[in-house]
């Protein structure tokens, strides 16, 4: 994957943030806190779109 063709998006909910690429999603919180309903909705959506069982070229 070449740096000039890499596309990465950052999405935010209340306390949950995520970096999304074609191959992976990285979810994180800057400060530990309980997930709000909006955070849970984002988490569930991302986990649905990025299943753990899918092979990628990097594995």
- Tens digit of pLDDT for each residue in 15-59? 999 999 888 899 999 999 999 999 999 999 999 888 777 665 544
Give me the residue spans of the domains in the chain: 3-49
- Supply the pLDDT for residue 31: 94
Q: What is the mean pLDDT of residues 5-22?
A: 90
- Supply the pLDDT for residue 41: 97
Query: DSSP string spanning 4-57?
Result: GG---EEEE-SS-EEEE-SS-EEEE-SS--PPPHHHHHHHHHHHHHS-TT---T
């Amino acid at each position: 994957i070449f740096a000039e063709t890499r596309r990465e998006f950052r999405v935010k909910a209340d306390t949950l943030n995520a970096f999304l690429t074609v191959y992976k999603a990285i979810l994180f919180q800057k400060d530990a806190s309980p997930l709000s309903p909006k955070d849970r909705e984002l988490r569930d959506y991302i986990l649905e779109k990025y299943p753990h069982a899918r092979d990628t070229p990097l594995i």
